Amino acid sequence: MAPGTSQSGVGRVIAGRYLLLNRLGTGGMGHVWLAHDQRLACEVALKEIVFRNPAEADRQRAARVARARAEARHAAGLRGHPHVVTVHDVLEHEGLPWIVMEYVAGALDLRDLVTRRGPTAPAECARIGLAVLDALTAGHERGVMHRDVKPANILLAPDRTGSPYARVLLTDYGISVQPDSAEPRWTMTSMLVGTAGYLAPERAQGGPPTAAADLFSLGCTLYYAVEGCGPFDRDTDLAALTAVVLEEPRPPLRAGALEPLLAAMLTKDPVHRVTAEETQAALSAILMPQSPQRTHVDPGSQPQWAQAETEASAMPVPVPVSGPGFGPPQSPLTPVPPMSPMSPTYGPPPGRRRRKRSNVLQSVIAALLGVGLALGGVWYAMGRQADEGGGRARPYGAAIGLAEPLKDGDCVIADWSERRFEGTPRLKLEDCLKGSPDGQVLAVVEAGSVEEARTNAPARCEERTEKTRKKLADVRGYAVLPTEAGFEAAGRRTVCLLLGANGGVYGPLGDHREAGLTFIDTANMQKQDCLDERSDRDARLASCDEPHDQRVLGFTRLGPDTSLEEAKRESVEACAADVPPIQYGYDPSRYESAAWAGESGWKTGTHFVVCTVKRQDGGTMEKDEP
C-alpha cells in the first residue's frame, strides 16, 4: 500500500483501539469514519489524512501532518463549547495523523438539509446563524479564524429530547489559523484557502484572515440557507471568485427580515462591514421580534410566524427564482399594496337621494354599453389572435415563440437577443441526435394556476434537475413559464430546461441517453458515465453493468491561454493532479487517469476537460470496480 492511501477501511483497527465501522464522508484533507472506541465502548468520529498520490505524500507529508495537528489543537481549545464539534485526541497510525472527534449521531450538514428540504425560514436561519456566530466569536476571542465557514461545515443534529436539527455545530477547523501567533503557516502563500463563493473579497485578493472575513462567509452561508443558493454561485470556481470581488450578490427573494442584515454582512469593504455584535443583535431581533430591545426592521419582511396577518394581507408578487444554475429573475420583487375587503354597495350613500332617470335614457345608455362591449370583444379577439399567431394562444408567449408546448425529452435551440441567460430566449425544437441542441427538457412541473407556477415552479425545476445538473460540467437551468393567456395551451405546466451555460450541449442529457450513443463532443459527458473508447477521438456511452473501457470521474479546467491541441496533450496530467482516481478508491498501481477534450470547451472559452479513469494494462473495467 502506498503511503497515505486508504484501504477498503471497514474493519481496520487504528492505534490498537479504534475499529472503523463505515465511512461518513470525504473532505479536502481526507476521510471521516465512524469508529468504535474499544477501550471506552463508545462511538467516535475519526478523520483520516489521504494524499492524492504517493509523490504528494513525500513532498507534503510534514505540512499535512502539521495542519492536522493544528486543527486538533484549535478545535480542542474550544472543547466544551455547545456549538463546536469536540475534538478528543490526535494520534499517529502508520506514520499519519488521525483526529479523534465527537460523533454527532443523526447529524445532517446545512448544505444537505437545504438540498433535501428546501430553503429554511428566516427565523430558523437566524437561529442557526446565532449559534454559528457564537462559535466563531469564541474562536476569534482566542485568535483563531476559521477561514472555511460554509453550509457543509455546519452540522444540524437532534437534541436530547429528539427534536430534529435542534443542535447546531460548527466543524472542520482544518484550515483555521492564528494570524498573530508564531505558529508556522502550513499553507502556500500563493494558494487561496477556503471555498470559492464563500471567501470574503479581501481574502480572495490575498488579504489576511480576519474575524470580518469569517463574518462575510457566515453571511454567504445564511444567504444559502434562506435562499437555497449562494449569493455568488457560478458555474466555475474562478467565476465565483470573480463575482465575490467584483459583483454584488443576487437580490434575495425569500430572506424577509434577514435581507438588510445579509446586505450588511456581504459588504465588500471589511471596514464598513457589520460587526459581530451588530449581527448578533439583528439575528436576535429576528428570532425574538417581541423583545423590547429588538432592532427595528421592516415589519412587512418579518418572519411568517411573527407576522402571519401582515403577510396574508400584503403578499408579494412572486417572480422566477434565481437559484444556482437558474437564470436571473425577469423583474424585481414588487410588493402588492394591502387589499381591503370590498363588497358591492347597492343603493345610494346614506343621506343622499337617488336621482331618477327616464326609461328612455336608461335604454340608450344600455344600448351604447352593449355596442361598446361587443366592439371591445371583437378588438380583444383580433388582437389576441394577431399576438398569438392564430386562434390558439401560444403556451409561453410571443417572445419564446413556440406554437406547441414542450414535453419531457425535447431538445431546443435557444436564441438570446443579447447575452446568454439575460432576458427571454426564443426557442425552437432541434433533433437531439442529429442536430446541435443548446439544451433539453428534463422535467415538467404542473401547477394549478399561473400564480402557483410563477411562485413554485422555478424552485421545483431546480429540485427536479439538480441531480443531472451536478453531473455536467457547463450547464445552467432555465424554467420556461407559461403565460397567463397560454396557461391552458401549455397543459398547465412549466418546462424545466438544462441549457449549455456558454454554448450547446451537442446531444441528449441525463436519462434520455441510451447505451451506444456516440459523443459528438464532451459537453454532454456526465460524471459516472461509463465509456467505450473506439479511438482517441471516438467515445461511446456504455452500460456500467457491462465491461467498459473508462469511467468519468469529474472535470477540470485549463488555463485561458491553452490551445485545444495543447489541451489534448496536457489534459491527462491535469486530471491526474486535480481529479486523481485514488480519491475515488482506485488503486494507483492498477488504474491511471485519462482525459477527453472537446471543441465546445474552447469555442466557448470555458476550457474544461473531462477526467476519466482506466486500467493501466488496457483491459476492460467491470461493474463492481473498484
Structure confidence by residue, pLDDT tens digits, 593-608: 999 998 888 888 889 9
Determine the pLDDT at residue 521.
92
Higher pLDDT, 301 or 121: 121
Please give the Cα distance from 80 to 236 (Å, whole number).
38
Please give the Cα distance from 303 to 420 (Å, whole number).
35
Determine the pLDDT at residue 391.
53
Cα torsion through 47, 48, 53, 55, rounded to 10: 110
The domain at 13-102 falls in which architecture? 2-Layer Sandwich (3.30)
Determine the pLDDT at residue 422.
84
Strands 439-446 and 493-500: antiparallel
H/E/C letters for each residue in 281-331?
A: HHHHHHHCCCCCCCCCCCHHHCCCCCCHHHHHHCCEECCCCCCCCECCCCC
Q: ∠ CA(566), CA(567), CA(568), 5° rounding?
A: 90
Determine the pLDDT at residue 105.
87
Q: How confident is the model at residue 47 (pLDDT cuts 50, 70, 90)?
A: confident
- Asked if the peptide bond before residue 626 counts as cis, ω within 30 degrees of 0, the response is yes
* Nearest Cα residue to 280 out of 175, 126, 162, 402: 126
Please give the Cα distance from 400 to 375 (Å, whole number).
30
Beta partners for residue 415, in sequence order: 426
The domain at 108-178+192-315 falls in which architecture? Orthogonal Bundle (1.10)
Determine the pLDDT at residue 163.
81
Q: Express as a percent the part of the chain with pLDDT over 70.
A: 74
* Nearest Cα residue to 211 out of 271, 151, 167, 287: 271
Q: How confident is the model at residue 85 (pLDDT cuts 50, 70, 90)?
A: confident
- Indicate whether 3 pLDDT > 60: no
Residue position matching grid coordinates 447575452: 419
Sheet holding 18-26, edge to edge: 13-14, 18-26, 30-37, 42-49, 96-102, 87-93
* Nearest Cα residue to 286 out of 278, 294, 276: 294
Please give the Cα distance from 527 to 511 (Å, whole number).
13
Is 47 annotated as a binding-site member? yes
Mean pLDDT throughout 414-430?
Answer: 89
Determine the pLDDT at residue 54.
53
Q: How confident is the model at residue 244 (pLDDT cuts 50, 70, 90)?
A: very high
H/E/C letters for each residue in 246-293?
A: HCCCCCCCCCHHHHHHHHHHCCCCHHHCCCHHHHHHHHHHHHCCCCCC
Q: Which amino acid is at 155?
A: L
Q: List the chain domain ranges.
A: 13-102, 108-178+192-315, 397-510, 514-615
User: Mind telling me the catalytic residues?
Assistant: 148
Q: Which ranges of 77-186 would DSSP assign to H, the alpha helix?
A: 110-117, 122-141
Determine the pLDDT at residue 72.
61
Average pLDDT for the chain = 78
C-alpha cell at 427: 426557442
Determine the pLDDT at residue 243.
92
Looking at 29-33, 51-55, 478-482, 569-573, which range is the least confident one? 51-55
* Nearest Cα residue to 477 out of 452, 442, 448: 442
Determine the pLDDT at residue 31.
83
Radius of gyration in angstroms for the set of CA atoms belonging to the chain, rounded to a whole number? 29
Q: How confident is the model at residue 625 (pLDDT cuts 50, 70, 90)?
A: confident
- Indicate whether 53 pLDDT > 70: no
